[in-house]
Structure 1
């Protein structure tokens, strides 16, 4: 059952909210969601939180509140399981009755401030096509200011100006954001069903693999930049000065030195203790130790000294 959104509260809605506050008690919304799951009515933390808004909750949300109440009060019930079940059902029935009263007295949905769009999408199956369809719907409404669109009663407070702007510029919306945006446009049931079906098709398709060399290189570069950004953030958090940027020539020298170090490390690791001792004894310079030299190389590269690790 889809309940309307209203622009202001009314007594029956306030009574429902008061019942939900009683059901919640001192629980956080996270623990409330856990209790509702244990009671057999799984509802997300976000949905439970949003039930206190102007949009009337679904029946399942009210049942989740009642189930959570039964779970957190069960330890305080001295009357036994059967009596506890009866109290639970009575409490749930009271909440459903308050919901029905709020639905029947809810104010009429405000009229649209712009003409409803008429575009009905075809079999959209890609993100760019979905974005193009949303832009067309926005244009058919007369392109109202994003601030006004976000504040419209039909949006139900679920969107911000920046969120709408990002979606129209190609950012992938969540299902809730897409539904709210279509409601704000005033899209018909046929248009809404078409766009939601497109959203489902897009998520049902696997991400295409990297086939072209350019795509592979680009993904690798993006991963490298992400790792670099994480390292810089770690350094800032610990108060470590950022590494100076190397020019192309210095970077090549560093890469070559690192490659030599890795080869040396692998070679020394492949030696047994007897072979390493014999090699040290045969060294031309008295006291020469290959592992110490390897640590010197690691120090020059800014790495922690210590025994070489197996590659």
Structure 2
């Protein structure tokens, strides 16, 4: 074991140290075999031997060097290293698997997130990100691989940043890849339908203008005694307030009358005069209530 490898022993898992030591031992054995043939077992020489087998063992000399000096190498690099040095590939896979589990232990999965009610695109984005956060696989690449060919990592990124709204099939595949469960999946799809359908239309009452004008008139009469016939003479300031209130009230009355006239014309056009008497009586009663 080299001095650099010994220094790393106290800061890295033992399984990783064992893997790196095994790789170094295989390189030493390969160097001895090459020396017997009058060659030097350089990393370039080992890369050439590994690449001779073709894909997926094509590897560079730099990659083989980093397998001994850097972080945990990939499984492909480890197998290529074993093949280049004539070592047992099954042993290489076993040692790498143990090192990978030690370096990247499986995280404890939180309870699956069940989204609450939402009806906006921003709410959908928040819900999808929270479902992803409680998934055993949180990387976009892993989720895309589990979701199938119709959902790539780049597409998932657009969904999770709000730049694109998923289809029902894509959202279902996303939930399945995140192992969201039936309840969370149902909540996601229900909110997704609300987002696609948009907000419900506002209800409208035809006589809303008239009722608002009448309510305003009653409030004014109760709050300002100068609106009655027995009101005293007002000074300049109170008279100005009185005129402004009268003008505001008259504007509401005019709007109500205009709307009722339009409603009456529409009814006449649709029913050829059948409902004209009813609308006309309604307009007359409203005008009478306003003292017109």
- After TM superposition, the score normalised by the length of structure 1 is 0.28
Q: Larger % of helix: which?
A: 2
Greater Rg over alpha carbons, structure: 2
- After TM superposition, the score normalised by the length of structure 2 is 0.30
